[in-house]
């Protein structure tokens, strides 16, 4: 029997049907929502319901992103040229820097739309036949928890920005959440009030687009990719159990043949997963790299606001707290899931080596001379560490997250000491 034959599905594995495929459900749901928020159609199948080539949709998308970009330009002008009270000036700097990075992340994702279409298809198909329902349910639950936690942090911050604006309004000032170059601090006309309310509404929509199209989409990809390696580990473990049972039943030749076929199938999936990492780097590398800058830079600015503010109100303190929570939570989700990918990939070498090849050692088996070579090559390949990186230099791991937190606090302490 040829070593490269039909894929072997160990007897304890039941292929998932499409209704059970959580990867398909997650990606299709994201593509539907991304289409609704104006970022385009990221699904690899052409459907009339998600046609982003129509004139109406192009107008809708252009209006949205022009509005985001125009508001960001006004924020930059406010931060660099505006004359505002100290608290509003600090807010303008924070928002100008954060929203500039968000716009760059939007551009990077939309620019890679065709790549993401292909990536969506690959992410669903690789290891699909060997995915376990319990494992996929666990993955889906983790994605949901992370998305909900991040949404609460983001919109918690936005809510308290609105509350702080309302507090200022009832204290005799004007309502303001987003600080833009126009209107000025002394402009209390009807038009100025409409602009301030409009920028708040734009902020709400922009945060929704950011959450769906960029941040949680990237996070979901990292989690799904991590579970692909866990699925592959389980595949080799079940392959070993299958071989053990056949050898115990006295079917050594059948065990050797199934082991050889199973190894070829597993190695093929492993190679596909390693190849997938390059596409993920290309599609989401800019997003993860910019998040390092955004989280650390915004954290220093916000911590200085807390430390240097003479009259820190409850709502002001809460908006800063939720902003920090959102920044660090997203960074933790990126770095820790990327680090978990490295960890899960590193465990594959042991599962491959202990696949049961040593039990198929009869000299009469023609496949035996090939099995050891296959295992050796696959084990060596799996021992080469798979490390996700930002800027092609900074490793995305648990250690990097701790380093960023410590570095941020050190920079904050330095600035704080100079301002005292």
User: In 328-393, which ranges are E strands?
Assistant: 389-390
Residue 369: the pLDDT is 58
22-36 helix and 216-248 helix, angle to the nearest 10 degrees: 170
Residue 419: the pLDDT is 67
Q: Is 180 exposed, middle or buried (0-12, 13-18, 19+ CB in 10 A)?
A: buried
CA–CA distance from 129 to each of 26, 69, 124, 125 (Å)? Answer: 17, 44, 10, 8
Residue 12: the pLDDT is 43
Residue 165: the pLDDT is 92
Other CB atoms within 10 Å distance of the CB of residue 364:
7
Q: Is 191 exposed, middle or buried (0-12, 13-18, 19+ CB in 10 A)?
A: exposed
Residue 243: the pLDDT is 87
Residue 154: the pLDDT is 96
Other CB atoms within 10 Å distance of the CB of residue 316:
21
The answer to whether the CB of 150 falls within 8 A of the CB of 322 is no
Residue 1: the pLDDT is 33
pTM score: 0.90
Residue 420: the pLDDT is 63
The answer to whether the CB of 382 falls within 8 A of the CB of 269 is no
Cα 334 to chain centroid, rounded: 6
Q: What does each of the 420 residues of the chain score in pLDDT, given as a tens digit? A: 333 333 334 434 444 444 348 999 999 999 999 999 999 999 998 876 788 999 999 999 999 999 999 999 999 999 999 999 888 888 898 899 999 999 999 999 999 999 999 999 999 999 999 999 999 999 999 999 999 999 999 999 999 999 999 998 898 888 999 999 999 988 889 999 999 999 999 999 999 999 999 999 999 999 999 999 999 999 999 999 998 898 888 888 888 888 888 998 999 999 999 999 999 999 999 999 999 988 888 888 788 777 777 677 888 889 889 999 999 999 999 999 999 999 999 999 999 988 877 776 654 444 555 778 888 888 988 988 799 888 778 888 988 899 888 888 887 777 777 766
Give bridge partners of residue 394 from the DSSP assignment.
390
Residue 9: the pLDDT is 40
């Amino acid at each position: 029997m040829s070593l490269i034959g039909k894929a072997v599905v160990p007897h304890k594995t039941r292929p998932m049907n499409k209704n059970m495929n959580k990867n398909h459900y997650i990606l299709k749901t994201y593509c539907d929502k991304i289409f609704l928020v104006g970022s385009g159609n990221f699904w690899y199948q052409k459907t009339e319901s998600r046609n982003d080539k129509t004139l109406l949709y192009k107008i809708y998308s252009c209006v949205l992103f022009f509005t985001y970009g125009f508001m960001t330009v006004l924020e930059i002008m406010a931060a660099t040229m505006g004359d505002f009270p100290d608290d509003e000036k600090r807010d303008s700097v924070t928002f100008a820097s954060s929203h500039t990075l968000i716009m760059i992340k939007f551009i990077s994702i939309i620019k890679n739309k065709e790549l993401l279409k292909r990536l969506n298809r690959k992410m669903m198909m690789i290891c699909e036949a060997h995915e376990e329902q319990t494992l996929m349910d666990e993955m889906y639950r983790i994605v949901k928890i992370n998305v909900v936690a991040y949404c609460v942090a983001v919109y918690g911050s936005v809510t308290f920005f609105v509350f702080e604006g309302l507090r200022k309004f009832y204290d005799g000032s004007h309502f303001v959440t987003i600080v833009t170059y126009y209107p000025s601090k002394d402009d209390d006309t009807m038009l100025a009030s409409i602009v301030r309310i409009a920028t708040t509404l734009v902020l709400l929509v922009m945060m929704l687009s950011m959450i769906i199209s960029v941040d949680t989409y990237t996070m979901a990809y990292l989690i799904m990719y991590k579970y692909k390696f866990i699925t592959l580990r389980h595949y080799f473990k079940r392959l070993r159990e299958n071989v053990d049972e056949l050898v115990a039943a006295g079917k050594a030749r059948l065990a050797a043949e199934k082991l050889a076929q199973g190894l070829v199938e597993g190695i093929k999936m492993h190679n596909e997963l390693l190849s997938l990492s390059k596409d993920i780097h290309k599609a989401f590398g800019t997003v993860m790299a910019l998040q390092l800058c955004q989280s650390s830079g915004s954290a220093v600015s916000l911590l200085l606001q807390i430390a240097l503010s003479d009259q820190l109100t409850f709502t002001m303190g809460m908006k800063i707290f939720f902003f920090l929570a959102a920044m660090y939570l997203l960074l933790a989700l990126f770095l820790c899931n990327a680090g978990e990918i490295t960890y899960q990939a590193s465990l594959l070498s042991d599962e491959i080596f202990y696949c049961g090849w040593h039990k198929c050692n009869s000299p009469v088996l023609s496949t035996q001379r090939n099995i050891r070579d296959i295992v050796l090559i696959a084990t060596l390949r799996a021992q080469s560490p798979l490390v996700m990186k930002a800027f092609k230099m900074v490793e995305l791991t648990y250690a990097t997250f701790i380093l960023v937190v410590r570095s941020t606090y050190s920079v904050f302490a330095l600035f704080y000491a100079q301002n005292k």
